């Protein structure tokens, strides 16, 4: 079985780390900047970065509609941080006009951890990836304030959901890709059925 080809939306954000983590998880990671590149992928990572900038660039590069169509057609997504904001049904504290893709039945609040906690690392209990905690980074992270009925919570931090699954999609408010632990990517890749 060939390694699944997983795109990483490469308009902005921490693309390189995801490509490395995907490789470590047994997938072929490819940068995606165009609809043609998107069409070659079995799944897509939406990285962290800045959701407002990413949404603007998606419009500028005429990628918003193809991305929406691909997801509606069943393209599984791994969304991290800003990527989760992009996919959420409701964005709180978004910029005027920030609409997102409305794929995930979540309400998320941008930058909800406040200034003094802009960034922190955490050993997160994440049973779906194994018994040992995953070292992850929260970087100006959003907070998931509401989840719909079809959303399964996979991990919580201080009682609040920080990793969720909806259908083929995994969405995280943290960064799993910068601490060198590929287990979250492995969970996503394993769900594609190709490894
Ligand atoms: N605060 C960013 C936003 O609103 C997300 C931060 C991140 O992706 N690390 O898009």
Which atom of ligand 1 is nearest the CA belonging to 13? 8
Which atom of ligand 1 is nearest the CA belonging to 138? 9
Which atom of ligand 1 is nearest the CA belonging to 139? 9
Please give the pLDDT value at position 116: 62
**Per DSSP, which regions of the chain are E strands?**
5-9, 28-32, 43-46, 77-80, 88-92, 104-109, 119-124, 134-139, 143-147, 152-157, 160-166, 169-172
**11-40 pLDDT, tens digit each:** 999 999 999 999 999 999 999 999 999 999
pTM listed for this prediction = 0.96
Ligand 1 neighbours, Cβ below 6 Å, are 48-51, 81-82, 85, 110-111, 139-140
List the catalytic residues. 81, 175, 177
Question: Mean of the per-residue pLDDT values for the chain?
Answer: 94
CA of 47 to the centre of ligand 1 (A): 10
Please give the pLDDT value at position 48: 94
Give the domain ranges of the chain. Answer: 5-190
**40-94 pLDDT, tens digit each:** 999 999 999 999 999 999 999 999 999 999 999 999 999 999 999 999 999 999 9
Q: Are 186 and 92 in contact (CB under 8 A)?
A: no
* Confidence class for position 127, pLDDT limits 50, 70, 90: very high
Architecture in CATH for domain 5-190? 3-Layer(aba) Sandwich (3.40)
CA of 2 to the centre of ligand 1 (A): 33
Please give the pLDDT value at position 11: 96
């Amino acid at each position: 079985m060939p390694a699944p080809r997983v795109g990483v939306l490469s308009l902005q954000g921490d693309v390189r780390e995801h490509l490395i983590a995907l490789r470590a998880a047994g997938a072929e990671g490819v940068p995606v900047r165009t609809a043609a590149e998107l069409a070659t992928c079995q799944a897509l990572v939406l990285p962290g970065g800045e959701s407002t900038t990413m949404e603007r660039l998606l419009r500028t590069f005429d990628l918003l509609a193809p991305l929406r169509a691909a997801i509606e057609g069943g393209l599984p997504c791994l969304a991290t941080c800003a990527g989760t904001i992009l996919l959420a049904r409701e964005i709180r504290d978004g910029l005027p006009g920030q609409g997102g893709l409305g794929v995930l039945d979540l309400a998320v609040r941008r930058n909800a951890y406040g200034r003094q906690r802009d960034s922190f690392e955490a050993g997160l209990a994440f049973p779906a990836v194994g018994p040992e905690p995953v070292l992850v980074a929260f970087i100006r992270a959003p907070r998931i304030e509401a989840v719909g009925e079809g959303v399964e919570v996979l991990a919580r931090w201080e009682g609040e959901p920080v990793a969720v699954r909806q259908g083929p999609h995994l969405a995280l408010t943290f960064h799993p890709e910068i601490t060198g632990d590929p287990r979250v990517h492995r969970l996503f890749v394993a769900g594609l059925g190709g490894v």
